[in-house]
Amino acid sequence: MVPDRGFVKQLKCLDKEFDVVWDWGSNKWEIWKFPRDKDAYHVLTVQTKDKSYRQLGADIIIKLQAGQVWDKYSLKEVCDYFEEMDNQIHRRKMRDFKNKIEAITLETFNYARGVPMFQVPRSMAIQRTVNNERA
């Protein structure tokens, strides 16, 4: 499992020693700190019920701050963290908008060219594929 680049980038804005790792035993994403002079240690588990990332927000930074009593984050680190959070949200919205425009363009292109398009229920499409593999 490879972590989301935006998620890791945002986390590294807060502290360069943080990293996101996949725990194969419990099937969870975890934030670990890898200090140069000490052993690595677990900081926080970050995931939703469907095993995807939670969006890093103010609640995560508060939990990280509470867990790191000896490490107080500077104003610049906190500002970089929230700027990267805004950038990540912007990238996601741009990607969703681009995908929507591409789908509309493709549908319009096919309609203008007279390409026949039929709605096929998923169960029939899967059933047809399974029957073709058996033959």
Domain limits, the chain:
5-91
- The answer to whether the predicted template modeling score (pTM) of the entire model surpasses 0.75 is no
Structure tokens at 59: 């609640």
From 16, 7, 35, 8, select the one nearest 77 (Cα to Cα): 16
Q: How confident is the model at residue 24 (pLDDT cuts 50, 70, 90)?
A: confident
| pLDDT exceeds cutoff 70 at 86 | yes
Mean pLDDT to the nearest integer, 93-102: 94
Strand partners, 31: 20, 44
For residues 33 and 75, what is the distance between their CA atoms, to the nearest angstrom? 20
Q: How confident is the model at residue 100 (pLDDT cuts 50, 70, 90)?
A: very high
Give the highest mean pLDDT range of 29-43, 67-81, 115-129: 29-43
DSSP state of 20: E
Residue with more model confidence, 57 or 101: 101
Cβ count near 127 (within 10 Å): 11
